[in-house]
Chains A and B, each alone.
Chain A
Amino acid sequence: EDKVVQSPLSLVVHEGDTVTLNCSYEVTNFRSLLWYKQEKKAPTFLFMLTSSGIEKKSGRLSSILDKKELFSILNITATQTGDSAIYLCAVESEGAQKLVFGQGTRLTINP
């Protein structure tokens, strides 16, 4: 069965700090890994990663995938209070048409 494990489950830092969130996975016929940010409502899409070693970047957020070691990291630099959220990692396998989610990392940024 496909499995996604995120760490840490919870993280509290001060504004301006840099954080790294981890996601490891076991999946048959890997297709893609996705990161979502969930505040109060719907998970909102951040990144989709399909190839190893290619960094995806959006402002202060970046993510990279290692398909050999089966993990991904999400980096947030110069954190702001608005980055406080649950960050969800999910994987999709070929032909599966479903996402398998990890437990999420609850990130809290204190002023």
Chain B
Amino acid sequence: DTAVSQTPKYLVTQMGNDKSIKCEQNLGHDTMYWYKQDSKKFLKIMFSYNNKELIINETVPNRFSPKSPDKAHLNLHINSLELGDSAVYFCASSLAGGTQYFGPGTRLLVL
């Protein structure tokens, strides 16, 4: 049973393309997150949603648009991909104030 799942696991695409990453959790959590991990393994928060409402948007370019159709899903759409977007993107979920559990990550490579 996968608690937090992401698709795809790997994504290789050209600069300028638009792509989406999907995240689903089956833990009954009410808060979901997107983090970006750069080549130096530094994990940084991008977005946080609580009960489908955007709580945090950490100075992320507006080419990145999260969408939460329901509490169990938080998708990330990226427009006009740039080389600097190459990273591993992690989805996480928690009950508000509780421990965050991470998905397996999506490795994005922009060529």
Q: What is the bound-complex CA distance between A43 and B44, given in angstroms? A: 13
CB of A98 within 8 Å of the partner chain:
yes
Q: Which residue of B31, B58, B100 has the most chain A CB atoms within 10 A of its CB atom?
A: B100
Majority-rule SS of B interface residues? strand
Q: How far is the CB of B43 from chain A (nearest CB, A)?
A: 4
- Whether A31 contacts B99 in the complex (CB less than 8 A), given A41-B104, A97-B50, A100-B45, comes out as no
- In the complex, the answer to whether B48 meets A97 with C-beta atoms within 8 Å is yes
Q: State whether the Cβ of B105 lies closer than 8 Å to any Cβ in chain A.
A: yes
CB distance B41 to A104 under 8 Å?
yes
Interface residue range, chain B:
20 to 34
B99 pairs with A42, CB closer than 8 A: no
Which positions in B face A, CB cutoff 8 Å? 4, 31, 33, 35, 40-45, 48, 50, 55-56, 58, 90, 96-97, 99-105
Binding site for B on A (CB under 8 A): 31, 34, 36, 38, 41-45, 48, 86, 88, 90, 96-101, 103-104, 106
